[in-house]
Structure 1
Amino acid sequence: MSALSILRELRRLAEQTPAHRDRHVDLLRAVAIVAVVVGHWLAVHVTYDGTLRGDSVLALVPWTRPFTWLFQVMPVFFLVGGFANAASLDSHHEQGGGASGWVLRRTDRLVRPTTALLAVLATGGLVARGFGADPDLIGTAVWLATIPLWFLTAYLAVIVLTPPMLALHRRYGLAVPIVLTALVGLGDAARMGLNIPYVGEGNFLFAWLAVHQIGFAWRDGRLPDRRGVALPLIGAGLVALVLLTVVGPYPVSMVGVAGQEIQNTAPPTLALLALATVQTGLALLLHAPARRWLRRLTPWTTVVAVNSVIMTLFLWHLTAAVLGVLALYPTGLLPQPQPGSPAWLALRIPWLLVLALILMVLVAVFGRIERRRGPRPGPGDATGVQAALLTLTGVAGVLAGLLGIALAERGQGPAGLPTLALAAYFTGAAVLRFARRRHS
C-alpha cells in the first residue's frame, strides 16, 4: 500500500469515527507514547573512542532528573488502557463473547509487532555474529533495543487479568485500587525499611493494576471528570510527590538511574503512584476541552495516524537509537561535547531529528504488520475449556519469554538474546495464533 493510500485510509477512518468514541483517550495514548520515545532518546548518552560506550544522561547530569516528572508517562498509558479495556470487554460481552475470545483479540495487536521485532533482532544478531562483529557490541545493541519489552510484559499481564479485575471493580469500586496502593506501600516498606529481598517485586503488578483500575473508574463515572475532582487530585498528588521525593526517601527521578539503591520504576513505588495521581487529575481536567478540539478533522486524523502504529513506534524507537548511534558516532558526524553543556544541549535537536527520520523508515517498513488485522475470533467463538487452555498456554509462553528477555544480562545467547526465553516467546505466540485461527 502506498503512502498516499495509507493517508487516504487514515482520513477515511477519522471521518467514520463513531460519535460515542472518547477521542480524548486516544489522544492521551498517543501523547504518552511520543513522550516516552522522546524521553528515552534524550536520556541516551554515547561516546566513541574506538569503542562505543553508552550511559544515561540522568546518571551524568543530576539536574535533568526532575524532568522525568514530565517524560515518565507510562501511568497515563495504563490509565487509558483501563478505560479502553473496560469499554472493549463490555462490548465483547454484549455481543455474546467470553473472556478467552476477548483476550485473544486484545493481545493480537500487541503480539504481532513484538514477534516481528524479536525475529528481526535475533536474525540481525546472528548475521552480525556470522560476519565477525564484536559479540559485546551485538549484545549491547540488542539489549538496548529490547528495553521496551519490560512495559509490554506488565501490560500483557494486566490485559489477561482485566476480566476478573473488572468484576472486582463492579463490586468494590475504588476500594480495589486503594488496596492495591496499600500493597505497594507494604512492598516499599519491606524492601526499604526491613531490607527483605524480593518482597517488593509484587509492585510490578500491584502498581500498574492500581492505575489500570482507576481507568475503569473513569470510564464508568465513579471518577468523574469535574474540576472539583481533578484539581484536588492534582494538588494532592503533587504534595505527596514532593514529600516522598524531595523530603522523603524516594529518588526524584521517575526513571531508573544506575547506582541508586532505590528506583521508582524497578519496581514501581508509592512515589510513582503519586505521579500517576497528578497525571490522572490532569487527564480529567483536560477531558472536555480535548474532546471539543478533537472534533476537528485535522488533529483527530493525526491522532488516528499515531494510534494506528503506536506499538510499532514504541517497540522500534530504541532500535532507531541504536542505528542512529552507529551512523553518527563512529563516523564522526556528531560531536561529543560534555553532557549538560550548552553545546550538548544544542546538539539534542539534530540528534532527535536524525532518530525521528530513522524511526519513520522503520515504521514505514514494519507498521503494516500492526495495521494488518489477523484472524480474530468472533463474539461467540473462543469459548469453552479448550479455548481457555490454548489462550492461557499461549499467554504464559509469551509472558515467560518477555520476562526472560527483560531480566537477562547483556549478550546472552548467540543472537544476543537468551535462547530459552526466545523459544518460550515464539512458542507462546504460535499457540495464540493457532487459537485465533481455530476460533475465527
Structure 2
Amino acid sequence: MRTGGQGTETGPDTANRDPAIDLVRFICLVLVLVGHSMMVSPVLHPDGTVTTENTLAIQDWFEPVIWIFMVMPLFFVTGGVTGLQSWRRLKEAGGTAAQFIRARLLRLVRPATALLATMAVGLSVAGVLGVDQEVVQLMATGAAMPLWFLAAYLAAQLNIPVLAALHGRAPWLTLGLLTALVVAVDCLRGALPDLANINLVFVWCAVQQLGFLAVDGHFSRLSRSGLLGLTIAAHLLLGLVTGLGLYRGNMLVNLNPPNLTLVILGVAQLGALELARPVLAPLARVGWISRLLRVAGSRSLTVYLWHLPLLGAMSGLLLLAPIPKPASGTAGWWWSRPLVVLALVLLLLPVAAAFGHLEERTTAMHALRCRPAVAGAAVVVVFIPVADAALSGLSLGLLAAGAVCFLVAVLLLGGFSPGHRRMAVSGGGRKARAHVRTRAKKGRRGIASGVK
C-alpha cells in the first residue's frame, strides 16, 4: 500500500498525502452525515414530552444493510495509516512521543472545546428562556454520540508510539494479542458488564493496527483474487459468529460497547479498500475532487463533531414549526430526507468557517518541544470528562466541565499561545522547521522505499 501524509490533517506535509485515503475518509464522513439524518427523529407527544426515535434501527431491512454502511472500522484503519506515517516522519526528524501526543491532542481537542463550550452556553440560555429541561437533556445527550468517537480515536492515536514499536518488532503478533484481548473482554462481559468498556481501547487499537499492516504493504502484496478472498472470508466469518448467536447481527448494537465483530469488519473493509484503490487513486486526483477533498479534509473533524447537535437542534425547531410532520418511517418522511441533508449541509458551512481553523496546526507544531509530564497531564485532564461521558452519558453540567477540562489541556500544551506562532516565524523557529524538513525528507525516502 503506497501511503503518505496525514490524510485529512493540514501542515507542511500535505504534499505527501495519499489521495485515495483522503477520498475514503470523505466518503465515510458523507455516509455518517446521511445515515444520522435518517436516524434522528424527534417526536412531540400529546402531553408535551419529546423523545427521539432511531428510524433506521426499527426498519426490518436495515440490519444487513448496516454491515455495508458501518464505516467506523474504516475510519480507524485510515487513522492507523496516517497516524503511523506521521509518527515515523516525526521520529525520523528527531521528534519524541511527547511531541506526537501534543500535536494529536491539539488536533482533536481544540475543535471539541469549541463545541462543548458553545453547547454549554447555548443550552444554559435555552433553559433560562423556558425550554423544557427534558429537551435540554435530550440535546446534551445527543452531543455524546460524536464525542464517543473522539474518545476512542484519541485512545487509539495516543498509543501509536507504543503500538508502532511493538508493530516494528512483531506486527502480526501485536495484532493477534490485541485481538485476543478483545475476545477475552467479550467472554467476560456477561459476568462483568462494565468490563466491556475496556474494548473501546482494545477493539479500536486492533483495527488501527490493520492500518499499520497496510502501510508496510502486507495487504497490497496480495493479488486481486487474494484480496477478494480475504474480503469474502471476513464477511463469512462475520456471518458465522452472528449466525451462531455469539454476537448480535446489528452492527449498531455491536458498536456500543465495541466487540470482535468490528475487528472482523475492519479486515473486510480494508480488503475492499485495497481492491478499490486502482479506481480511488485516479478519481481523487481529478481537479475539482482534489480541491473538494483538500477543503473538506481541513474541516472534517469540525463537521463530524457539529453535525449531530445541529441536526438535533434543527429537528427540534421543526417540531415547533407549523408545517406538516410526517410520521417517522412513512413515505412522506423518507421523501423529506434529502431536504434534511441539504439543510444540514447549509448549517454546517458557517460553522466550519467559524470553527474549522481550530483543526489547523502551526507549521512548527512538531518542532516545538513538549515535556512528557506536560503531555501526560494533558491526557489525564482530557480523559476525566471523556471517561465520565462514556460511562454515564452527557449532561449539561458535564458539557460545561468538559469544556473547562479541554481548555485546560489546550492551555497546558500551549495550543492558544501566540508565543508559539512567533517562534514559527522567528529565526529559531525557522531553523527548527528547516531541521525538521531536512530530517523528514530523509525519513520519507526511507519510509517510501519500505511501503511501495
Q: Which amino acid aligns with 2:98?
A: S
Tell me which moved more, 163-172 or 130-139.
130-139
The aligned runs of 1:31-46 (5 Å cut-off) are 31-46=27-42
SS of the aligned residue for 1:46 comes to strand
Task: Give per-residue Cα distances to partners, 1:290-312, cap 9 Å, x unaligned.
Answer: 11222322211111121110001
- Residue 320 and residue 418 in structure 1: after superposition, are their counterparts in 2 closer, same or farther (change >3 A)? closer
C-alpha deviations, 1:67-107, integer Å up to 9, x for none? 22222111111101111111111111121111111221222
Match of 1:216 in 2: 212
Q: Is 2:369 the counterpart of 1:382?
A: yes
Secondary structure in 2 aligned to 1:47? Answer: strand
The answer to whether the 8 A contact 1:191-1:200 is kept is yes
- Cα distance in 2 for partners of 1:95, 1:76 equals 29
Q: d(CA) in 1 for partners of 2:395 and 2:192?
A: 30
The CA RMSD over aligned residues, in Å, is: 2.5
Residue identity in the other structure for 2:269: Q
Of 160, 164, 174, 1:176 maps to 174
1:301 aligns with 2:291: yes
Q: Percent identity?
A: 32
Per-residue CA deviations over 1:221-253 (Å, capped at 9, x if unaligned) read 123254144212211111012122244332222
Deviates most, 53-62 or 318-327: 53-62
Q: Deviations over 1:186-233 (max 9, x none)?
A: 2112224xx333333221111100111111111111232541442122
Q: CA deviation at 1:44?
A: 1.5
Q: Which amino acid aligns with 2:179?
A: T
Contact 1:324–1:358 under 8 Å retained in 2: no
Equivalent residue for 1:315? Answer: 305
Contact 2:40-2:312 within 8 A present in 1 as well: no
Corresponding letter in the other structure for 1:425: F
Cα distance 1:388–1:141, how it changes in 2: closer, same or farther (>3 A)?
Answer: same
Q: Deviations over 1:364-417 (max 9, x none)?
A: 33223334x3584443x425xxx100011011111222222333345453xxx3
Aligned to 1:30: 26
Q: Kindly tell me: are residues 333 and 435 of structure 1, through their superposed partners in 2, closer, same or farther at Cα, counting changes over 3 Å?
A: closer
The match for 1:432 among 413, 417, 425 is: 413
For 2:255 and 2:244, the matched residues in 1 are separated by 19
Gaps of 5+ in 2: 1-9, 424-452
Q: Which runs of 5+ in 1 are unaligned?
A: 1-12, 256-262
Give the distance between the partners of 1:180 and 1:432, measured in 2 at CA.
Answer: 30
Change (3 A) 1:350 1:374: same
Indicate yes or no: 2:336 matched with 1:344: no
Q: Tell me the TM-score normalized by structure 1.
A: 0.86
Q: Deviations over 1:169-201 (max 9, x none)?
A: 000012211221122112112224xx3333332
1:160-239 matched pairs, under 5 angstroms? 160-192=158-190, 195-224=191-220, 226=222, 227-239=224-236
Q: Structure 1 pair 138/369, CA: closer, same or farther in 2 (3 Å)?
A: same
CA contact (8 A) 1:173 1:222 kept: no
Q: Please, which of 343, 348, 357 is the counterpart of residue 359 of structure 1?
A: 348
- The one-letter code of the counterpart of 2:237 is A
Aligned length: 408
Q: Give 1:36 shift.
A: 1.5
Q: 2:50 aligns with which of 33, 49, 52?
A: 52
Does residue 290 (structure 1) correspond to residue 274 (structure 2)? The answer is no
Matches of 2:176 and 2:323, distance apart in 1: 52
| CA 1:283–1:184: 2 relative to 1, 3 Å | same
Distance 1:392 1:156, change over 3 A: same
| SS of alignment partner, residue 94 of structure 2 | coil
- Say whether the 8 Å CA contact 1:395–1:432 is kept in structure 2: no
Distance 2:261 2:109 in 1: 31
Residue 249 of structure 1 corresponds to which residue in structure 2?
Answer: 246
Return the match for 1:67 from 62, 65, 68. Answer: 65
Provide closer, same or farther for how the CA distance between residues 335 and 281 of structure 1 changes in structure 2, counting only shifts above 3 A.
Answer: same
* Residue in structure 1 matched with residue 386 of structure 2 by the alignment: 402
SS at match of 1:223: coil
Could you tell me which residue of structure 2 aligns to residue 258 of structure 1?
none
1:61 to partner: Cα distance: 2.7
Q: Is the CA contact 1:376–1:436 (under 8 Å) kept in the aligned structure 2? A: no
More displaced stretch, 164-173 vs 295-304: 295-304
CA contact (8 A) 1:234 1:278 kept: yes
Identify the range of structure 1 (54-63 vs 429-438) with the bigger mean alpha-carbon deviation: 429-438
State the alpha-carbon separation in 2 of the partners of residues 91 and 398 from structure 1: 26
Distance 1:129 1:197 in 2: 35
Structure 2 CA distance for partners of 1:51 and 1:225, relative to 1, 3 Å: farther
Aligned mates of 2:275, 2:90 — CA distance in 1: 29
User: Contact 1:181/1:270 (CA < 8 Å) preserved in 2?
Assistant: yes
Taking the aligned partners of 1:17 and 1:148, their CA distance within structure 2 comes to: 26
Q: Distance in 2 between matches of 1:101 and 1:225?
A: 33
Taking structure 1 as reference, are residues 69 and 332 closer, same or farther at Cα in structure 2, changes over 3 Å only?
farther
Identify the residue that residue 9 of structure 1 maps to in structure 2: none
Residue 278 of structure 1 and its aligned partner are, at CA, apart by 1.2
Greater shift, 118-127 or 130-139, is seen at 130-139
Q: How far does residue 421 in structure 1 lie from its aligned partner after superposition?
A: 4.5
Distance 1:230 1:347, change over 3 A: same
1:122-141, aligned counterparts within 5 Å? 122-141=120-139
- Confirm or deny that 1:326 pairs with 2:316: yes
2:79 equivalent in structure 1: 81
* 2: CA distance, partners of 1:410 / 1:396: 19
SS at match of 1:62: coil
Secondary structure at 1:224 match in 2: coil
SS in 2 for 1:53: strand
- Larger RCO: 1 or 2 (CA < 8 Å, sep 6+): 2
* Deviation per residue, 1:337-357 (Å, 9 max, x gap): 2x3332332222222222222
Deviation digits for residues 312-355 of structure 1, max 9, x if unmatched? 11000001212211332211335232x33323322222222222
Change (3 A) 1:213 1:437: farther
**TM-score scaled by structure 2?**
0.83
